């Protein structure tokens, strides 16, 4: 979002030995730590961070055989997906072109177009600050939920540095009907090839058209989480014409667009005219502007539909 002040320290972790050294440095100087991947889903506050940002630069990935793939935390997420798709494996192709690093993917249980990390994760290798050593997590130990995991939610949040991620994929194909925008693409282009490589190409086309590249435009991608209804709320929302997907999920982008906010600007932030879930910093200079824009959008949705929106990008704060 091109916001936020400076960090007191920034440490790039390029080798495994650097992980322990980085935490030792922070402890010696009496400062907090924050682990950062690509930063595409992170927002800084104006006061900056009076601590040490640990940037995950661990690189490399490998084919372990039988559909198992391992990659290190600092690898580009999309490069890892490309590596698996080139070998004909399905499970991550719909997440193609999601920005960020592989190590960040399990943290928020990243998902797109019907696929989620929780569906393919086998294990995560991480450095634990309390253990002062490596901890191995199997899927059942990660407490994976909608955009959350043991790494970012609960008592253990923030105390792990992800070293590597191992996934288990299949020689398979996705079957229609697909996620709405992907299904529309298939119909518009009369696509009949649903191989991992074909799905990857389609998703990359859709994202290139609808979503800003965070390297070119000041955006943190999807800014609001989808809303999950309680069972007793479903009928009421459907009566209002609100689309409710399996599990009680309501697309936040639909709510924003149908509240009449698509293309509108609030305090220097523009709601994308291509995808209402995207917020772009056009001219804002402070976190305070973002807070006011966020509130204005949430208030409009609440007034129209009676539903509350929650921010998806995480924030770096010294508090």
Catalytically active residues are 147, 222, 312
Give the count of beta carbons closer than 10 Å to the beta carbon of residue 221.
20
Tell me how far CA of residue 174 lies from CA of 119, 120, 146, 212, in angstroms: 13, 14, 21, 26
| Cα–chain center distance at 225 | 10
Q: Name residue, tokens 């990935």.
A: 61
Contacts of 168 (CB under 8 A, 6+ apart): 67, 68, 91, 120, 122
Contacts of 81 (CB under 8 A, 6+ apart): 92, 93, 95, 96, 200
Residue 124, SS3 per DSSP: strand
């Amino acid at each position: 979002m091109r916001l936020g002040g400076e960090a007191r320290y920034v440490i790039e972790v390029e080798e495994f030995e650097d992980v322990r050294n980085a935490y030792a440095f922070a402890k010696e100087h009496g400062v907090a730590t924050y682990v950062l991947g690509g930063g595409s889903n992170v927002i800084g506050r104006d006061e900056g961070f009076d601590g040490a940002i640990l940037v995950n630069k661990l690189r490399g990935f490998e084919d372990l055989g039988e559909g198992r793939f391992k990659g290190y935390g600092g690898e580009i997420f999309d490069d890892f997906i490309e590596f698996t798709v080139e070998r004909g494996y399905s499970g991550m192709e719909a997440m193609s072109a999601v920005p960020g690093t592989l190590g960040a993917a399990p943290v928020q249980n990243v998902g797109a177009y019907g696929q989620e990390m929780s569906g393919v994760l086998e294990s995560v290798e991480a450095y634990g600050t309390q253990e002062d050593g490596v901890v191995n997590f199997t899927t059942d130990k990660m407490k994976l939920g909608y955009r959350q995991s043991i790494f970012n939610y609960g008592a253990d949040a923030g105390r792990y540095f992800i070293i590597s991620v191992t996934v288990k994929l299949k020689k398979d194909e996705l079957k229609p009907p697909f996620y709405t925008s992907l299904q529309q693409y298939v119909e518009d282009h009369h696509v009949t090839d649903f191989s991992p490589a074909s799905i990857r190409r389609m998703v990359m086309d859709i994202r290139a058209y609808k979503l800003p590249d965070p390297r070119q435009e000041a955006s943190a991608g999807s800014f609001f989480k989808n809303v999950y209804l309680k069972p007793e709320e479903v009928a009421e929302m459907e009566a209002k014409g609100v689309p409710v997907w399996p599990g009680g999920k309501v697309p936040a982008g639909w709510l924003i667009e149908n509240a009449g906010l698509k293309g509108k600007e609030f305090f220097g932030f523009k709601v994308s005219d291509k995808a209402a879930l995207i917020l772009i910093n056009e001219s804002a200079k402070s976190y305070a502007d973002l807070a006011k824009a966020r509130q204005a959008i949430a208030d409009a949705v609440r007034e129209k539909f009676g539903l509350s929106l929650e921010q998806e990008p995480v924030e770096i704060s010294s508090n």
